Structure 1
């Protein structure tokens, strides 16, 4: 992959009470050959104790993650199960479940000093009566050896590099459901938060706790500081974010004194999406948005960086680099949002709130190169920056993560980076995971597809592919009904990653139109056939759509009423055209009323007569869930290829295959006749390709285009709605007969 440069972006920055400098990150240079590559994904539910009452579908999460000092054991907090979990990564590409210990409360954070894990535990009975403890766990013995009363509800924890101090943020979080001064969830809401300092010299039973008062500092609700995150830098100075107060404090841990404090300031943003409307429209703007930083990390040159997630009023949708005196030397402005858009990771349903929500931030020096990692809680990705110039980090790459990446951990001594993604929903099909990446002398494995650096083209939920009649370097793709104003994309596949460089909005009667597009096929004359899936529950019919090269709707064709009356939820799921321009084939995803079990229809549309006939395609039997078709495409020899898949993801994914068949071997029949059944031949089992990047195996393999003997495949990321959000795009050869 050849690095390119981001274009100049329209952005303004207003930092209240802070002298600031704005910089736009650029991609790292060609000489930067090392890249982080994902080598393993560990599902947290594999660490459940199924022999002693746990159920495999139980909600269990990894929120904050750290490691033993030798880097061989990952240690994570599980707030749902109230446990501290362990994973053996002595062989990091094959992590192994290593058990857990039960805790007497909800763990909020964990850090390590020597052989001890320090775990913040929330035991609060209510918002007005917060309580908690710092539990000290002997890592080799897996036992609690000390419990220190924190005098409130702990959140973030940190340990100094010399092992002399630990710091624990006592947040005493607000109740977001009550109104204060006319603001829902507003401030102040006492009791106030503070910082606990623990002197960790000696054995845990000798450790002492000191309180550092943080009140009276912020402009907003000075009586009620809401500390969120802490990190300890050189000289044992702790930087603490007061998120809702939009304030930052630096505390000398030796003396317990506040040595610096300043407002986090505001940012004005242009060219971003600010409305939840089923459309990614980066044309909005926000003025004077409080940064409201969450995580914070010290960097080199005495600087520190914040992830500006937002909570009460703000969230500037990016990250910033500060001096200890409060000057902003760098702000990402709208570029973090644009990264998400270009990589298909933009969470459109969160556009009206805080967008990508950068929550986690981590710093680590790998060899001679320092890196900054910024995690998007809602976009399910981590952006990586070369921080050699700490005041001007250079974008290096984007890493896909699980759902809701929360904990970030750099392990430079092992060339590893770890992400804990906390969202877990067995019913929806995704689980909480820990992802492990390794810095390697190789090209990045992600993304496989993104949109152009020159034009900001939003995309996602790709559901179909087509070849181009003239060029082997061009494909076309469509999105489904997750987004409105249906369109098709033009994709350059001549390099890696593939690049979406153009979009064509469909127009009908002079206005945009909303289809549920599940397939696209270019005809010999340059026009396109599109398959729009119906939804009987909403009285939406399956439609075969014909559009010209400019996206103007030429005609819509419906199924015969007798066929449409048998419709179920899973209808049109792919479309292709014969090379002679006489016939269009449409794949039905699953059986409709009256169809035999494990037999789905292939619809045959005669363009001249506008008549429909059908034959059956035999699908495999699912051991779990269901199996259906998700794409159909014509091959050069006249055969047809389909994607046959189950609806399972992760370790449960079993059937993701390409089959081919000869349509001339059957005689299509009209409705009411007995349909022929075609014979199929396996052309490729896609599971190895889908698992090659060591992520969460997707369920929706949706797009297929074949050039010669090379199959191009794309997955549907569901617009990140209860989904990992990672789009896989790759090519693989078809098996020879």
Structure 2
């Protein structure tokens, strides 16, 4: 009887579009609306807990810790919920800051930027049991995120290539593909060949705007999701407002998908633009907002592949170049903003931060269009066509308001800032976990119908969850699905399970 039960569950999962690596070996009935904190560990202060990865073989969690120097903390979860902190991996002598970790088949990949942040970085590959270094692989400048392909053949990094503080050195952003099977050979891809597409991309609010930066220098890859067949990668270009599609087999960047902007004049996109009105008040106005996604995740339902992005928003803010301005400080085109005096009041839209790099469409010195930062929610795309399947609109932040945790002090500046996102499978259903940096919480949604995600719950985390990790039941140390958040501001790692 037991064997037949699991056969039926596995068949149902396949019919629902799960790929082999999505289907748990031992599915259990769990309620994704009932996550609660079951354990936690304090790794230090700010920057002591950023991104985590889990190895089910060694039952160890690896967490990036940059509080004092570049370390990766090693947490033994074999007796979970008891957590034992082991000797950390010290990689400080090999470069600058550690930015990301990923695990596959007993290997830990650590993305490490150079001591000189504008120089090339490395991926350090470590054995998860012995902690011995297997390989050090050079990649592009400032590898900000690393991930394995599901089949383990590739490690893919998003090499952000940020400029220095005075914007005199701006390395090219790149994507590195490490072929694990071929002795960790690496191919680092830049965006030079796509420069001719910029005019078309700009029509949908793709941005190239850094001082004296070329197309390839200005692009800054942020986060990577790999398709379930391990043939493609999708890489967010956060500050540029796009997603790059990459052929992992051929080793080339296929295209850039521009993301457009959110129209705040539409009621469905209403937002709270002021931190000085003494209340949480969603309203509309003649403003657009660039999506500017950070994290991205890949999932499949009923044989169709999808991407979900956390639309955090991010502005370039350097010593010699800051693109931000408050609407109250800008000269607006009077025919397009006839009620500018009222509109620019601090309790209206005057406090909202927008970019100075877009909006003067006729180049006459005043602004015809205003562009804010971030979608304040999440987007879902068809991964084949890159057509938008769902936008969370203002509904995402409304759920935060209903939960009583909305921070009105952030209303003028990207709101709740959805930063991290991952999708895991529970009971044959794809469940999204979306980390919100500014309200210290995770929003959980059922993605069984990607066009109409169903809100399940909001869970409070540590301060500023940077990394969100889902460990399925069959890989969890205690046989139950496990949600892990790495919280940057208070240096904690929090663990959540259903009841």
Q: Does TM-score exceed 0.5, indicating one fold? A: yes
1:335–1:92 Cα change, 3 Å: farther
| SS of 2:498 mapped into structure 1 | strand
Q: Please, what is the CA RMSD of the aligned residues?
A: 2.2
Tell me how far apart the structure 2 counterparts of residues 152 and 167 of structure 1 sit (CA, whole Å). 14
Given candidates 90, 107, 113, the residue that maps to 1:102 is 90
Q: Are residues 1:374 and 2:374 paired?
A: no
Higher helix share goes to which structure? Answer: 2
Distance 1:280 1:315 in 2: 21
Residue 71 of structure 1 deviates from its aligned partner by 7.1
Matched, 1:317 2:404: no
Aligned to 2:236: 241
1:329 pairs with 2:329: no
Q: Is 1:306 aligned with 2:309? A: yes
Alignment match, 1:120: 111
1:435 and 1:151 mapped to 2: Cα distance? 32
State the 1:329 CA deviation: 0.7
TM superposition outliers: structure 1 runs of 4+ over 6 Å? none
Structure 1 residue corresponding to 2:250, chosen from 251, 255, 258: 255
Report if the CA contact (8 A) 1:86-1:99 is conserved: yes
Q: In structure 2, how many angstroms separate the alpha carbons of the residues matched to 1:34 and 1:293?
A: 26
Q: Which residue of 1 aligns with 2:222?
A: 228
Cα–Cα, structure 1 residues 255 and 351, in superposed 2: closer, same or farther, change >3 Å? same
Alignment of 1:35-50 (within 5 A): 35-45=34-44
**Is it true that 1:79 corresponds to 2:145 in the alignment?**
no
Q: Deviation at 1:151? A: 3.5
Q: CA deviation at 1:66?
A: 0.8
How far apart in 2 are the matches of 1:311 and 1:178? 18
Residue 275 and residue 411 in structure 1: after superposition, are their counterparts in 2 closer, same or farther (change >3 A)? same
Deviation at 1:411, TM superposition (A): 0.6
Q: Residues 264 and 293 of structure 1 are in contact (CA less than 8 Å); yes or no, is this contact kept in structure 2? A: no
Q: Deviations over 1:377-415 (max 9, x none)?
A: 111000000111123210011111000001010111331
3-state secondary structure, aligned to 1:234: coil
Superposition deviation, residue 326 in structure 1: 2.1
| SS across alignment from 2:35 | strand
User: How many angstroms apart in 2 are the aligned matches of 1:305 and 1:232?
Assistant: 12
Structure 2 equivalent of residue 93 of structure 1: 81
Match of residue 416 from structure 1? 482
Q: How does 1:509-658 map to 2 (within 5 A)?
A: none
1:331-370 pair list within 5 angstroms: 331-370=391-430
The answer to whether the 8 Å contact 1:386/1:393 transfers is yes
Q: 2-side partners of 1:326 and 1:71: how far apart?
A: 38
* Residue pairs, 1:466-545, within 5 angstroms: none
2:464 pairs with 1:404: yes
Q: CA deviation at 1:255?
A: 0.6
Tell me: CA distance 1:338–1:213, structure 2 relative to 1, closer, same or farther (3 Å). same
Contact 2:311 2:379 in 1 (8 A): yes
CA offset digits 1:188-238 (Å, max 9, x no partner): x73220100000116xxx210012223425532233211000011123210
Select the structure with the greater relative contact order (CA < 8 A; seq sep ≥ 6): 2
Taking a change above 3 Å as real, the CA distance of residues 316 and 37 of structure 1, as seen in their structure-2 partners, is same
Q: Structure 1 residues 123 and 278, CA, compared in 2 at 3 Å: closer, same or farther?
A: farther
Partner residue of 1:171? 160
| Aligned 8 A contact 1:116 1:139 in 2 | yes
Normalising by the residue count of structure 2, what TM-score does the alignment of the two structures yield? Answer: 0.72
1:266 positional shift:
0.9
Conserved 8 A contact 2:65-2:72: yes
Counterpart of 1:235 in 2: which secondary structure?
A: coil
Please give the alpha-carbon distance, in whole angstroms, between the structure 1 residues aligned to 2:279 and 2:235: 34
Partner of 1:576: none
Decide whether aligned partners of structure 1 residues 291 and 59 sit closer, same or farther in structure 2, where only a CA change above 3 A counts: closer
| SS at structure 2 position matched to 1:248 | strand
Paired with 2:180 and 2:428, the residues of 1 have a C-alpha distance of 31
1:439 to 2:439 alignment:
no
Pairs aligned (count): 377
- SS of the aligned residue for 1:150 comes to strand
- Give the structure with the higher percent strand: 1
TM-score, structure 1 length as denominator? 0.49
Tell me, which stretches of 5 or more residues in structure 2 are unaligned? Answer: 1-29, 209-214, 316-354, 356-372
Cα 1:60/1:353, change in 2 over 3 Å: closer
In structure 2, relative to structure 1, the CA distance for the partners of 1:304 and 1:60 (3 Å cut) is closer
State whether structure 2 residue 129 is matched by structure 1 residue 140.
Answer: yes
2:409 is paired with a residue whose SS is: helix
